[in-house]
Amino acid sequence: MRRVEDINHFVQLTQTLKQDKTQIVTNSLLLPGEIERLTALGQMMYLPLPTGIAFLCDEGAFYRLYYYVDARKQISFEKLGKPVVIDFVYREGRKPDAVTNMQEEWQRCGFTPYSVNRKMSMSLVDYMQCKPRPLMRNGRQFQIIRAEPRHAAEIEALWRAVLDPFNSAIPEGSALLRQIEDGNVFCIIENDTVYAADRIQVENRRGSAWQVAVDASMRRMGLGTALQLHNFFTAKKRGCHTFFLWVAEDNTAARMVYEKLGLACTKDISETYILK
C-alpha cells in the first residue's frame, strides 16, 4: 500500500483509470473535505489492483475500502493485516445491477455480509432552536458539554464498550483528541464523569451524528434523546440546513425514538461487507 498525498493525488489516480477506456464502477461517496482530512492525517492509502484501484482509509481497528474497478473484469484481493470493510449505498427498491455484481465479486474474494443500515434525515431550516439546559433525571443533575481533552479516555472507553467497532469507526488516541479540539465531540456528564457521548460532523451545510453512545447503567433515562436534541441545536448554529444519521435496519426501537424527534427514514440503504 502507498499513501495518498493529497486530494490532487487522489483525483490524479482516479482520472488515470478513466483514461484507460475502462468501465469504472465505484462505491465512493467521499466528499472533498473528507478526502482532504484523511490525506492530511495520513490515513488514506491506495492499493493498485489488476482491475483498478482500492483506496483504504485507516479507521484504527480496520480499513474502510473504496474501490474504483473495471466492471468487466474479475476482482482479486488478498487479506491485509486487519479487517477490511466495504459499504454499498443505494436507494431502497432500486439496487443497481452494478452494486449486486460488485457484492458478488467481493464475496468471491472472501468478504461476507455484516450489517444493513438506513439513513434518517430532517430539515433544520424551520427547526426552532432551544438552548440546552441542565438535565434532571431521578434526582440527579447532568450537563451536556463540549468534550475537553481530559474526557478523551472516558469517551473512548464508553464507545468501545457500547458501539460496534466495524459500524462506527471509533476515533482513538490523537484522532479523538483532534475531534475534541475541533469542537465536534459532546458528552453528558455528572460530577465530571462521562455517561453519554457522540460526535457530529458538518459539511456542505449538512450535519450528521456519529458514535452515539449511552452508558449501559443510564439507559432509558433520556440521555440519548437529550444528546440528539443538542446535536440539532449545534448543527443549526453552525449553519446546517439538514441533519442525518444512520441506524441499523433492524433497530426498530431506535428508529421510533428518532422519528419522535423529527427524523424520517429515507430510501438510502447501506449494506456493509467485511473481510476478517
Q: Is the pLDDT of residue 168 over 90?
A: no
- pLDDT score at 26: 94
Share of the chain above pLDDT 90, in %: 76
Q: Give the pLDDT band (50/70/90) at residue 19.
A: low
pTM: 0.87
Beta strand spans in 42-184 (E): 44-49, 52-58, 63-70, 84-91, 112-123, 135-137, 140-146
User: All 3 cell numbers of residue 34?
Assistant: 473528507
Which homologous superfamily does the CATH classification assign to the domain defined by 123-269? Gcn5-related N-acetyltransferase (GNAT) (3.40.630.30)
Residue with grid cell 450489517, as numbered in its chain: 115
Q: Give the pLDDT band (50/70/90) at residue 95.
A: confident
- pLDDT score at 136: 79
The answer to whether 63 and 57 have CB atoms below 8 angstroms apart is yes
Q: Give the pLDDT band (50/70/90) at residue 20.
A: low
Domain ranges of the chain: 2-110, 123-269
For the chain, what is the radius of gyration of the CA atoms?
Answer: 20
Q: Tell me the average pLDDT of the chain.
A: 92
- pLDDT score at 245: 96
pLDDT digits (tens, 9 = 90+) for 223-273: 999 999 999 999 999 999 999 999 999 999 999 999 999 999 999 999 999
User: All 3 cell numbers of residue 158?
Assistant: 464508553
Decide: helix, strand or coil at residue 110: coil
User: What span, in angstroms and rounded, lies between the C-alpha atoms of 170 and 172?
Assistant: 6
Per-position b or e across 242-267, b if 16+ CB within 10 A of its CB = bbbbbbeeeeeeebebbeeebbeeee
pLDDT digits (tens, 9 = 90+) for 22-42: 789 999 989 898 899 899 989
User: All 3 cell numbers of residue 229?
Assistant: 436534541
Q: Give the pLDDT band (50/70/90) at residue 21.
A: low
User: What span, in angstroms and rounded, lies between the C-alpha atoms of 77 and 66?
Assistant: 13
Q: Give the pLDDT band (50/70/90) at residue 131.
A: low
| Partners of residue 112 on adjacent β-strands | 274
- pLDDT score at 249: 92
